[in-house]
């Protein structure tokens, strides 16, 4: 009885605190996902249930409050505006290579008592009075060069992530997290607290971010919720995207041990999923977007290897034969917490392309130029360049 009463009091306290809150706050975000030539997706997380939207304006020096701005609602509810804490708004119908201003907006939901009887907080949103609105540029149709940054295996070292991100030698066209940003997702809140809060602050809602799954993102009670924190063209943890002539594929390389390993508690069935991904990969590699590209780069958390663990073997057997046929220029991996380069044609990887395995807690900066080489440089948290190499195409 005592236990029942204390649960009732806790629930009541929770409801009262939600009722007392006069506006929804931002826990994490905004961050940019799936930026294309005519659209972009904004995601963020609020500290209470809310209905959310994004307003956009053309770039310019007129004040945000110069006029009413175009509004885009969350559209995942098939006509019904979703109520939740994690928000994903797609802004579409834009011009290529064009900069827009935007702000995120929300209205906290205090109580949903019934149809026509919903109690809200005041509206709130990102500050456009004392601060500039966020800025985003849609992708151009063509790029002479592209630069991007890759990090992996941070394993919840949020303060080091901040150091690495802040030290980028220039603003990259996009940032890639290539797996194992957390160690175990027992609590969904770790996605924000261990890396996405910092990421959102440093990238300021303006640099596109791609987050690919490592084996550790499969682990923990809340791991099942990880995919909904990110958005891609496929709505899956694997995707492909293009910057002008440059084509990129982000793979989900799965877990590292066999599905029936005792550490997985009978909760894994990754092989059918990886086979489905391989079917998707085949289609992507045959697409005109991939075939006509002047460079093709693949991200995979786990590197391929014949005699490594099951995860290495999966990548080698399911993905590498398809990638070999498609003229891939480079694969970028992590997972091993050490740096190494596997040259093209190695028997172990089975790959006809080189593989750069990026060390944990290091920032890899990559630049691509049309008809030129791929230049890679990695840096540690003290800003020292640790490795550099160029690959011809």
Binding region for Fe ion (CB under 5 A):
180, 214-215, 335
Cβ nearer to Fe ion, comparing 107 with 335: 335
Closer residue to Fe ion in complex, CB, 121/300: 300
Shortest distance, CB of residue 195 to Fe ion, whole angstroms?
15
Min dist CB 45 to Fe ion, Å, is 25
- 274's enclosing H/E stretch is helix 270-286
CB 310, min distance to Fe ion, A: 13
Measured on CA atoms in the order 267, 271, 276, 278, is the torsion positive or negative? positive
φ/ψ of 55, rounded to 5, equals: -110, 140
Question: Which residue sits closest to Fe ion, CB atoms considered?
Answer: 335
What one-character DSSP code corresponds to residue 345? Answer: T
Between CA 50 and CA 286 the distance in angstroms is 42
- CA pair distance 272, 281, nearest whole angstrom: 14
Instruction: Kindly state the smallest distance separating residue 215's Cβ from Fe ion, in Å.
Output: 5
For residue 61, the minimal CB distance to Fe ion (Å) is 46
Residue 87 near residue 33 (C-beta atoms within 8 A):
no
Q: Which is nearer to Fe ion, 208 or 334 (CB)?
A: 334
Whole-number Å distance between alpha carbons of 249 and 297:
6
Other Cβ atoms within 10 Å of 118 Cβ, number: 14
The least distance separating Fe ion from the CB of residue 337, rounded to whole angstroms, comes to 8
- Burial classification of residue 113, based on how many CB atoms lie within 10 Å of its CB (0-12 exposed, 13-18 middle, 19 or more buried): exposed
Is the four-CA dihedral 335, 340, 342, 348 of positive or negative sign?
A: negative
Distance CA 250, CA 228 (A): 17
Going by C-alpha positions, the residue among 201, 191, 179 that lies closest to residue 134 is 201
Q: Which is nearer to Fe ion, 138 or 305 (CB)?
A: 305
Closest separation in Å from C-beta 278 to Fe ion: 20
H/E/C letters for each residue in 161-191?
HHHHHHCCCCCCCEEEEECCCCCCCCCCCHH
Residue from 318, 219, 204 nearest 268 by CA: 219
Q: Cα angle vertex 28, ends 30, 255, to 5°?
A: 100
For residues 29-55, one letter each, b for 16 or more C-beta atoms within 10 angstroms of the residue's C-beta and e for the rest, the string is bbbbbbbbbeebbbbbbbebbbbbbbb
Kindly tell me which of 94 and 361 has the beta carbon lying closer to Fe ion: 361
**Minimum separation from the CB atom of position 312 to Fe ion (A):** 11
Nearer to Fe ion, 215 or 231 (CB): 215
Residue closer to Fe ion (CB basis): 74 or 256? 256
CA pair distance 175, 167, nearest whole angstrom: 13
Residue number, 296 or 335, with CB nearest to Fe ion = 335
- Nearest approach, Cβ of residue 274 and Fe ion (Å): 15
Taking the complex as a whole, the smallest distance from the CB of residue 336 to Fe ion amounts, in Å, to 8
* Between 91 and 176, CB nearer to Fe ion: 176
Minimum CB distance to Fe ion smaller for 125 or for 303? 303
């Amino acid at each position: 009885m005592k236990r029942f009463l204390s649960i009732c009091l806790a629930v009541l306290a929770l409801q009262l605190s939600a009722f007392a809150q006069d506006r929804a706050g931002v826990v994490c975000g905004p961050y940019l996902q799936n930026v294309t030539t005519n659209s972009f997706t904004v995601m963020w997380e609020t500290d209470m249930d809310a209905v959310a939207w994004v307003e956009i304006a053309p770039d310019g020096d007129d004040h945000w409050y110069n006029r009413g701005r175009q509004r885009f609602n969350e559209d995942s509810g098939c006509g019904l505006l979703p109520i939740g804490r994690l928000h994903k708004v797609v802004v579409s119908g834009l011009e290529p290579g064009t900069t827009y201003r935007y702000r995120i907006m929300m209205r906290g939901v205090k109580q949903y008592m019934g149809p026509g009887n919903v109690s809200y907080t005041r509206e709130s949103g990102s500050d456009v009075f004392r601060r500039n609105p966020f800025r985003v540029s849609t992708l151009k149709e063509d790029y002479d060069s592209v630069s991007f940054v890759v990090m992996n295996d941070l394993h919840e070292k949020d303060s080091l992530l901040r150091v690495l991100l802040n030290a980028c030698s220039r603003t990259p066209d996009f940032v890639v997290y290539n797996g194992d940003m957390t160690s175990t997702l027992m609590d969904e809140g770790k996605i924000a607290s261990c890396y996405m809060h910092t990421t959102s602050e440093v990238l300021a809602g303006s640099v596109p971010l791609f987050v690919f799954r490592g084996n550790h993102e499969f682990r923990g009670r809340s791991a099942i919720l990880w995919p909904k924190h990110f958005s891609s063209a496929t709505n899956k943890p694997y995707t492909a995207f293009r910057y002008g002539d440059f084509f990129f594929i982000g793979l989900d390389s799965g877990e590292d041990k066999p599905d029936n390993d005792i550490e997985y508690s009978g909760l894994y069935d990754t092989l059918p999923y990886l086979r489905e991904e391989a079917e998707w990969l085949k289609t992507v590699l045959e697409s005109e977007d991939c075939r006509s590209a002047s460079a093709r780069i693949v991200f995979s958390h786990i590197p391929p290897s014949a005699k490594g663990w099951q995860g290495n073997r999966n990548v080698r057997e399911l993905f590498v034969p398809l990638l070999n046929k498609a003229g891939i220029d480079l694969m970028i991996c992590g997972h091993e917490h050490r740096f190494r380069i596997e040259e093209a044609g190695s028997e172990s990887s089975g790959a006809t392309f080189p593989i750069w395995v990026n060390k944990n807690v290091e920032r890899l900066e990559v630049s691509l130029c049309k008809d030129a080489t791929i230049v890679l440089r990695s840096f540690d948290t003290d800003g020292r360049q640790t490795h550099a190499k160029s690959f011809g195409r």
